[in-house]
Structure 1
Amino acid sequence: MTRQEAQRQEEEEAALWVARHLDKAVDVTAFHQWLAGRDGRRELFDALWATCMDVAVTDALRAKDQAAAPPKAAPPRPVYRRVAFAAAAGLAALAAIWAWPELRFAVTPEQTFATSAGEVRSIALSDGTALFLNGNTRVRVKIGSGRREVQLAAGEALFDVRHDPQRPFTVVTDDARVTVLGTRFDLALNDARVDLEVERGLVRFASTSERQSAVLVPARHGAALINGRIGSPVALKDSAATEWRTGWLQAADMTLGDIVPRLQRWTDKDIIAEDPRLLRTRAAGRFRLSEPRILLESLGDLYGFSVEETGSAFILRKR
């Protein structure tokens, strides 16, 4: 039996146990033996049960039961026949619900990974994909039998995606959606923009606002989503965007406003410019991310601003 077949069997067994609970026809001992038989069964059962308790799903089941119910004037059926009918209807309804791909994916167990300021972490996913998280980053991961999805809730991550034509790999943020089959790319949330850089393969980059068609970004190219629109891909000269893995920032004609969110992943202190115009200052150089005060002071010496460090922030003031 393949891994996908085994997972499908686990899901079908969990669905049957949910149906038995819905019909109040549960062998408690057998149920607990099933739960204990393999890791993850409790989580799978709980997720499917929660889905079936959703108001929309409950309404659908109720409508199905009402449509299948005998006329009120009909004589009552024997109890055992009503129980059998209810069980059959419950199983049929649950089977129909379980067949919906979106609901099947909704009950796939989710994993959350996070890093603290300045922490770089590597993660091996169950499908063979490797994730590398920058500091102050949080992702939620679901690896299902038909698709793979990561939610980038904060920060930046490098994805080395294992090729699987049967299971597209998607990374979603509040503003963007990236879809691949197998590739290596970096995705970063930098304040109001989403930056994508592709090292290998081809990436489909789309805005959730649907103001424009998706943009295909090839290997060694980058693109940015700003104010709901994705710019044209531009060729990359090197892989400077992922130097954060070794604790460095390579800035090439980058505004201070673009540098700040990248540095913010390496400190718990807020970086505040008293005059927003200061963030338009363009800078270049190679800086050590793990030393945020030294980095900011070096930039200040070069571009004319001072740095005041408080207990909770770095305050930048124009000289």
Structure 2
Amino acid sequence: MISRSTLLAQAREWQVLLHSGRATAADREAAAAWRQAAPEHEAAVREVESLWALLGQVGERAADLEPDSQVVPLTRRSRRLRWAVPLATAASLALAAWLPQGLWVGLYADIHTAPGEVREVRLDDGSVLTLNGDTALDWSPHGDRREVRLYRGEADFQVAPDAGKPFFVEAGAARIRVTGTRFDVNLGDDKVLLAVTHGQVQAASASQPAVAVNAEQQVQWLAGQREAVQPLDARQRLAWQRGKLVFRSRALSDVFAELQRSQRARVVFLDQATRDLRVTGVFALDDPQAVMAAIEHNLPVRLVRLPGVVLVTSRDADPWLPTNGKK
């Protein structure tokens, strides 16, 4: 039996797709069919529609409170204006928590994992994939080629050798071609990291020709462009395969990007300075709370925990934020 949380997540993804402006007639028919498939689906859709409407009302109320260009005395109305920004921010944070992390991609991906789930998958060609948490991909064997499209997350590929059927991976801007080897692909918001542990792969992009990346080497694509091949620091880059998180002077924004694969809470930064703070340490992959406790103890930041959201801000943040007992 499908859990209520899973049904709500699926209903949210349909709702986002139907309001995205990208839904086709087939998408709308599929959404209607899903809704009618069971009473539990109908109940989930109704709950999601109610929250969607509520979020819209909160946003409208915040907009109504925005001050105009005139200077006004500190009346009851002007005191209400002090809450316009917090209310608008609260609406956007609620929406950030409510939207599924991969939007509707989870509906279509052949293989996916939940946050915190690490899973091994054996493909029908004999290749073995190990997926990190919150990962989604498609597997398409056809004709004289084998193809994987990585939508989000990270996967370790142990590709079964077959010179007659090369193996292709598409991840963001990255285009990777192999015949049989082992490598790791990590797809983030604006970059892709490729780490090769055995054999050799060909790494290209839509605008750049392929270059060879050998064992113990890595390369990244940043903002769509492939950078120079570098030596691989496997102990840090592939620590997740050993159940660890290893950070060496990593930006706090990168650290939380890794943590979001181990927990369901979304992370929202409220100022740029905190994003750029540096973190060094070794932590257990399955204990993101320990990482956050260490961050709060050692860095000048506050972590404000709300349902489904963690706010990251400096310790002298705006006083409207709850303190969770911290100063």
Q: State if a TM-score over 0.5 links the two structures.
A: yes
1:18-97 to 2 correspondences below 5 Å: none
Task: Tell me which residue corresponds to 1:247.
Answer: 243
Residue 203 of structure 1 corresponds to 201
Shift of 1:262: 1.3
Which of 143, 146, 156 is equivalent to 2:144? Answer: 146
Q: Distance in 2 between matches of 1:192 and 1:207?
A: 14
- Alpha-carbon contact 1:308-1:314 (below 8 Å) kept: yes
Alignment partner, residue 191 of structure 1: 189
Deviation of the 1:111 alpha carbon: 7.8
Cross-structure match for 2:271: 275
Mark the runs of 5 or more structure 1 residues left unpaired by the alignment.
1-109
Distance 1:252 1:207 in 2: 28
Amino acid at match of 2:151: A
Alignment pair present for 1:218 and 2:214: yes
Partner of 1:314: 310
CA contact (8 A) 2:173 2:225 kept: no
Aligned-residue identity in percent: 32
**Structure 1 stretch 233-242 or stretch 185-194: which is displaced more?**
233-242
Structure 2 residue 280 is the aligned partner of structure 1 residue 284: yes
| 2:301 corresponds to 1:301 | no
- 1:124-203 equivalent positions in 2, closer than 5 A: 124-203=122-201
Looking at structure 2, the residues matched to 313 and 116 of structure 1 have their Cα atoms a distance apart, in angstroms, of 17
1:117 equivalenced with 2:115 (yes/no) = yes
Q: 1:248 to 1:174 in 2, by over 3 A?
A: same
Cα distance between partner residues in 2 of 1:299 and 1:233: 31
> 3-state SS of the aligned residue for 2:209?
coil
Q: Partners in 1 of 2:176 and 2:310 — Cα distance?
A: 34
Distance (whole Å) between structure 2 residues aligned to residue 276 and residue 139 of structure 1: 31
Report if the CA contact (8 A) 1:111-1:142 is conserved: no
- SS at structure 2 position matched to 1:214: strand
Q: Secondary structure at the match of 1:213?
A: strand
Q: Indicate the residue corresponding to 1:231 in structure 2.
A: 227
Cα distance in 2 for partners of 1:202, 1:282 equals: 33
Q: Measure how far apart 1:247 and its partner are.
A: 2.8
> For the residues of structure 2 that align with 1:113 and 1:282, how far apart are their CA atoms?
34
* CA displacement at 1:317 relative to structure 2: 1.6
Structure 2: unaligned runs, 5 residues or longer: 1-107, 316-327
Deviations 1:15-65 (CA, angstroms, capped at 9, x unpaired): xxxxxxxxxxxxxxxxxxxxxxxxxxxxxxxxxxxxxxxxxxxxxxxxxxx
C-alpha contact 1:190 1:258 (8 A) present in aligned 2: no
Is the CA contact (8 Å cut-off) linking 2:218 and 2:230 kept in structure 1?
Answer: yes
Cα distance, 1:280 vs. partner?
Answer: 1.2
* 1:253 positional shift: 2.1
Aligned residue pairs: how many? 208
Give, as a single letter, the amino acid of the residue that structure 2 aligns with 1:183.
Answer: T
- Which letter maps to 2:292? L
Cα pair distance change 1:115/1:182, threshold 3 Å: same
Identify which range, 238-247 or 309-318, moves more after superposition.
Answer: 238-247
Return the alpha-carbon distance in structure 1 between the equivalents of residues 121 and 162 of structure 2.
18
| CA–CA distance in structure 2, aligned partners of residues 215 and 306 of structure 1 | 43
* Separation (CA, whole Å) in 2 of partners of 1:156 and 1:238: 15
State the alpha-carbon separation in 1 of the partners of residues 232 and 193 from structure 2: 13
Q: What does the per-residue CA deviation read over 1:194-219, in whole Å, with 9 as the maximum and x for residues that have no partner?
A: 111110111111123x1x32232111
Cα contact 1:297–1:307 (8 A) shared by 2: no
Aligned to 1:259: 255
- What is the DSSP-based 3-state SS (H/G/I as helix, E as strand, rest coil) of the residue aligned with 2:134? coil
CA RMSD in angstroms comes to 1.7
Contact 2:119–2:131 (Cα < 8 Å) also in 1: yes
